[in-house]
Amino acid sequence: MPPPYYTEPNEDNINNEIHFYIVIKKVKKVYHCPYCWAKNKIKIEGDYKIIRYHPPDFQVEQYNLPLVFWDIKFPEDIREFSSRCNKCGRDIHVELWPYSIGDKRNSKNVNYYLKLGLGKTNKIDHEFFLESILTRFCKSLRVNYVIGSFFFMLTLALIWIIPLTITGGLSRVINDYGFLVIFIMSFLMLILLKRHSDILRKYLDCRNLPILLHENYLKSNWCTTLEEMSFKGNVLGHPYSLIKAPTFCGLVAVLFYILWRITIFINTNNFDAFLELTTTYYSFHISFISFLFGIPFWTMLLLIIGNVIWLFLATASLTGLIGRFMPLNINVIKELGGVEIFGKILLSSSYPMATIGVCLPIMLVVGLGFGTLVFLLGLFLIFLFMLMMGIGFFYPLIPIHKKIKKIKENEMEKISNRLDVAYSKIKEDYRKIPEKELLSNHLLISYYNRILNLSEWPFKINTLIKIFSAIIIPLLSFFLNFIFFSGF
């Protein structure tokens, strides 16, 4: 891209009386490699105020997804390019910024971003809407998060149940085992969601993740930007954004639900069906009043589900991107190569998904009734859901698995080459080998065995059992619900 101030003379402006012909001098800019801190130089044309450099930018733009709420809108005149470190040969993402912080030409988000990178702000807020209302709720009751979440869902449920009881629908609630399960699951979802977001806040940090970055880069403010924007920001929502990504996804879930109700209304032309007064299975709400007072609970449930789905998808995509685009600090001597954190993060994000899996069959049966067709459709949907959970866990780990495998093979080859030499010496005459060398050969063999036993996947067998249990839960719930509901 030519610099914006440069104008080539051509026929038109030569004929005109005035033309500008400005050549901006080439300027040298220096940047450090985030991996080895080597000084790299580039020559550029134009006046750029700020230079920033990072590991390859693996944000979502690479996939050209139109997810605008995920991005920070950069000014059009910044120059971004990929450069290669002249010492270690790794790719570096370099950006040149034409304006300094506080310049009016930068948007608010960009100013925030630059401030963070230059260490001029510490205000980092990753709490999303659902968390913040729960925190406030718990504070006002002066209880801990678990008890608070229970009372939060109970309050919303009571807003529905009390008018329902007054209008004579108590037996409806007492006999509704589906509601009871969904209620318990919604409370569990809140706890598991909080647990997962706390894990993300703690571990999506360059010092906790096994990434190969130079100590000086780790100390720099640009590293903070990488953590806050590319890691935590992509999952928990960017600190500056008004509606954070998880909340956005929650709202989308609510919107889908409303659209679904409207579709039913249009198809059946029945206002009662829209209000869920009659569904195929049974009347869900007994009156208009019950429908109205049910709104807070059911909207909150969908909002929570949306948040859970977002955190699951975003965790999986971020883990996959880190594994693919960043050099990992894999230590073959450590158990699981020292990269088990990736397996842990993905496992914790599949727990809240499993609670949705418990609710899903109930929603299906209540919404569509039960018959052979619904059974088959339900089974298909449950399998899709389970497949999504499986892919969400294993797929992001594939690049990490490949890296572990490669490093393991390299290390083993190195050792076995040395052992080959030792072996040929032993064959000649082992008595000639000095004692020190024999000892080192012993050590090599024990290291060889240790590396040989290194797992090529970043999880232990108990994690595998846990993830399979989480994946199978929706199917169990599906069969149990069909047996239960058919028995009515």
Q: Which is nearer to Zn ion, 87 or 202 (CB)?
A: 87
Q: Which is nearer to Zn ion, 157 or 223 (CB)?
A: 223
Q: Which is nearer to Zn ion, 38 or 391 (CB)?
A: 38
Part of the chain binding Zn ion (CB under 5 A), chosen from 32-40, 233-241, 293-301, 464-472 = 32-40
Closest contact distance (angstroms) between CB of 87 and Zn ion is: 5
Closest contact distance (angstroms) between CB of 83 and Zn ion is: 10
Q: Rounded to whole angstroms, how far apart are CA atoms 88 and 24?
A: 32
Q: Which is nearer to Zn ion, 35 or 150 (CB)?
A: 35
Q: Residues near 360 by Cβ (< 8 Å), separated by ≥ 6?
A: 381, 382, 385, 474, 477, 478
Place of tokens 């989308």: 252
Q: Rounded to whole angstroms, how far apart are CA atoms 219 and 201?
A: 18
Residues 55-114 that bind Zn ion (CB under 5 A): 85, 87-88
Q: Rounded to whole angstroms, how far apart are CA atoms 6 and 20?
A: 8
Part of the chain binding Zn ion (CB under 5 A), chosen from 30-38, 216-224, 342-350, 426-434 = 30-38
Closest contact distance (angstroms) between CB of 328 and Zn ion is: 16
Closest contact distance (angstroms) between CB of 38 and Zn ion is: 5
Q: Of 155, 240, 134, which Cα lies nearest the Cα of 197?
A: 134
Q: Rounded to whole angstroms, how far apart are CA atoms 204 and 213?
A: 14
Part of the chain binding Zn ion (CB under 5 A), chosen from 28-36, 124-132, 138-146, 382-390 = 28-36
Q: Which is nearer to Zn ion, 85 or 336 (CB)?
A: 85
Closest contact distance (angstroms) between CB of 86 and Zn ion is: 8
Residue 121 C-beta-side C-alpha neighbours within 13 Å? 18
User: What is the pairing mode between strands 91-97 and 39-45?
Assistant: unpaired
Task: List the one residue from 31, 32, 33, 115 that touches Zn ion (CB under 5 A).
Answer: 33
Q: Is 445 helix (H, G, I), strand (E, B) or coil?
A: helix
Q: Which is nearer to Zn ion, 38 or 439 (CB)?
A: 38
Q: Which is nearer to Zn ion, 88 or 313 (CB)?
A: 88
Residues 154-173 that bind Zn ion (CB under 5 A): none
Residues 192-231 that bind Zn ion (CB under 5 A): none
Number of Cβ atoms within 10 Å of the Cβ of 349: 27
**Binders of Zn ion: how many residues, by CB under 5 A?**
7
* Torsion-angle region of 252 (φ positive above 0: left; ψ -120 to 50: alpha; else: beta): alpha
Part of the chain binding Zn ion (CB under 5 A), chosen from 37-45, 177-185, 226-234, 268-276 = 37-45
Q: Rounded to whole angstroms, how far apart are CA atoms 91 and 33?
A: 9
Written as one string, the DSSP assignment of 170-219 is: HHHHHT-HHHHHHHHHHHHHHHHHHHHHHHHHHHSSTTTTTB---HHHHH
Task: List the one residue from 29, 36, 277, 381 that touches Zn ion (CB under 5 A).
Answer: 36
Task: List the one residue from 38, 147, 243, 384 that touches Zn ion (CB under 5 A).
Answer: 38
Part of the chain binding Zn ion (CB under 5 A), chosen from 27-35, 136-144, 171-179, 257-265 = 27-35
Closest contact distance (angstroms) between CB of 226 and Zn ion is: 16
Q: Rounded to whole angstroms, how far apart are CA atoms 290 and 279?
A: 15
Phi, psi (deg, nearest 5) at residue 43 = -105, 130
Task: List the one residue from 31, 35, 312, 385 that touches Zn ion (CB under 5 A).
Answer: 35
Part of the chain binding Zn ion (CB under 5 A), chosen from 33-41, 48-56, 136-144, 232-240 = 33-41
Q: Which is nearer to Zn ion, 38 or 180 (CB)?
A: 38
Written as one string, the DSSP assignment of 341-353 is: HHHHHHHHHHHHH
Part of the chain binding Zn ion (CB under 5 A), chosen from 9-17, 29-37, 107-115, 215-223 = 29-37
Q: Which is nearer to Zn ion, 161 or 213 (CB)?
A: 213
Long-range contacts of 271-278 (CB under 8 A, 24+ apart): none
Query: Is the CB of residue 200 less than 8 Å from the CB of residue 322?
Result: no
Q: Which is nearer to Zn ion, 88 or 264 (CB)?
A: 88
Binding site for Zn ion (CB under 5 A): 33, 35-36, 38, 85, 87-88
